[in-house]
Amino acid sequence: MTGISVPAGQARGDRAISVVLAGGGTAGHIEPAMAVADALTALEPNVRITALGTARGLETRLVPQRGYDLELITPVPLPRKLSADLLRLPMRVRRAVRETRAVFEAVDADVVIGFGGYVALPAYLAARRRVPVVVHEANASAGWANKVGARVATRVLSAVPDPGLGHVDVVGVPVREAITSLDRSALRAEARAHFGFADDARVLLVFGGSQGAQSLNRAVSGAAEGLAAAGISVLHAHGPKNTLDLRAPRPGDPPYVAVPYLERMDLAYAAADLAVCRSGAMTVAEVSAVGLPAVYVPLPIGNGEQRLNALPVVEAGGGLVVDDASLTPQFVAGTVAGLLNDPDRLATMTAAAALAGHPDAARRVAEVALDVARGTGSRR
């Protein structure tokens, strides 16, 4: 575990509320935690925030970049099959819980907010009968760590009504303020100029997460000719390790802009009329928060949670769900292009996507956590 440090503005001399965030490992756990950290700071400027993490997680880079204190504990991954790692699990859990309790004592924790993942389980166990817990579940099907946390939590918050945790309060998925405050209409002209699109272009945004998605890449790049014939411009983030096999554009074709990674997702969202994307919890949260209709293509592995993540937005009319195997070049050139060329339907989907989003999720989680820390948050 790292030494306990106190960032500027987070000293406890004035008995400021101390919040511990447990959400390390993947961006899907870290980004909601950082959005809540920003919301806590906005609501309570003197709040002391400490993030728990492990040396193997993305939090070692993402948390310090956001200016928050990070404390490292022993990771507690659950082995999927009988192995030596499984036999060592109890020892790792005990060590991680001991390290986490030391952090709680050092920062005088008033509340723990858990987001699931490797870091959350020891936080929940360490907090039991010591520090009140708020659990947030971003996925439509809860993971095992949050199932444990829900048993000891004062409040359980979620993105959807029934993630498998009993009674929950639906607040959505916390998203960073730069996204939730985005005015797509106001930024559209600047965004389209940035990527080289005409003001009146019909723009399809394609992305498959930070590493891209090969099936999305193949389907959309394979439809390039049909999209161009339909007058559709494309902004395609294919992933830093992937390449696209694109035909040479013909004179007069609308632009097909292919990039490894989008540094400015705000401009990408503002430039687009429709997205083709995966349906991880954070992707669905961001896309709906900005009011962008989407064709969601759930990852075809796992327990089906990505399909469940998208269903609330789709049922509200803000998108479509398409199986990975059904996303073909023919589907993109036909159905997707047809949707982009149907302004009435696209406008209806855009309005529905905006209504289905939860742009205030980070603030709502922060408010609940502060109430619990003050002893005013009601127990389940």
Contact 43, 374 (CB under 8 A): no
Instruction: Give bridge partners of residue 296 from the DSSP assignment.
Output: 277, 321
* C-alpha–C-alpha distance, residues 170 and 328, integer Å: 35
Half-sphere exposure of 240 (CA within 13 A, CB side): 5
Residues 92 and 119 in one domain: yes
Q: Which two tokens stand for residue 84?
A: 């030596």
The verdict on residue 8 lying in a domain is no
Query: Do residues 98 and 15 touch, judged by C-beta distance below 8 A?
Result: no
Distance CA 234, CA 317 (A): 23
Altogether, the residues listed in the chain come to a count of 380
Please indicate, yes or no, whether residues 32 and 146 belong to a single structural domain of this protein. Answer: yes
Q: Token pair for residue 161?
A: 């009504």
CATH code at 364? Answer: 3.40.50.2000
| Whether the Cβ atoms of residue 153 and residue 160 lie closer than 8 Å to each other | no
Those residues with Cβ within 8 angstroms of residue 80's Cβ, 6 or more apart along the chain or in another chain: none
Residues 367, 329 share a domain: no
Predicted pLDDT at 49: 97
186 in any annotated domain? yes
Looking at the fold, whether 164 and 307 belong to one and the same domain comes out as no
Q: Are residues 75 and 41 in the same domain?
A: yes
Structure tokens belonging to residue 44: 């309570």
List, for residues 199-258, the tens digit of each pLDDT value: 999 999 999 866 668 899 999 999 999 999 999 999 999 988 888 888 888 999 999 999
Which amino acids are annotated as binding site, given as ranges?
26-28, 139, 176, 210, 306
* Domain housing 61: 18-175+360-373
**Co-location of 336 and 190 in the same domain:** yes
Asked if residue 157 lies in contact with residue 136, where contact means CB atoms within 8 angstroms, the answer is yes
Whether 141 and 155 share a structural domain: yes
Whether residue 4 lies inside any domain: the answer is no
Which residue blocks in 108-183 are alpha helix, DSSP H? 120-127, 144-152, 177-180
Inter-residue contact 152 to 128 (CB < 8 Å): yes
Strand partners, 321: 296
Co-location of 106 and 192 in the same domain: no
Q: What is the DSSP string of 47-110?
A: -EEEEEE-TTSTHHHHHHHTT-EEEE-------SSSSHHHHHHHHHHHHHHHHHHHHHHHHT-S
Give me the half-sphere count of Cα atoms (radius 13 Å) on the Cβ side of residue 60.
8
For 18, 96, 239, the CA distances from 122, given in Å and listed in that order, are 18, 6, 34
Whether residues 125 and 261 share a domain: the answer is no
Structural domain count of the chain: 2
Please give the Cα distance from 304 to 298 (Å, whole number). 8
Largest CA distance in the chain: 69
**DSSP tag of 295:** E
> Which token pair is 134?
């708020």
Binding-site residues for UDP-N-acetyl-alpha-D-glucosamine sit at 26-28, 139, 176, 210, 306
Alpha helices in the chain (DSSP H): 27-43, 59-65, 84-107, 120-127, 144-152, 177-180, 184-195, 214-222, 224-229, 265-271, 281-289, 305-315, 329-331, 337-340, 343-356, 361-373
Q: What is the pLDDT of residue 122?
A: 94
Q: Dihedral sign, CA of 236, 63, 310, 293? A: negative
Does 293 share its domain with 169? no
- 380 domain-assigned: no
> Strand, helix or coil at 320?
strand
Determine the angle formed by the axes of helices 343-356 and 281-289, rounding to 10 degrees: 110
Task: Answer whether residue 93 is part of any domain.
Answer: yes
**Consecutive 10-residue averages of pLDDT for the chain (380 residues):** 45 74 84 96 97 90 93 76 61 90 96 93 94 95 92 95 93 93 95 97 90 87 97 95 85 94 94 96 94 95 86 96 97 98 96 92 97 75
Which is nearest to 18 in space by CA: 53, 62, 55, 52? 52
Residue 313 lies in a domain: yes
Co-location of 111 and 253 in the same domain: no
Domain annotation covers residue 6: no
Say yes or no: 68 and 137 in one domain.
yes
Chain center to CA of 304: 17
Asked if residue 213 is part of any domain, the answer here is yes
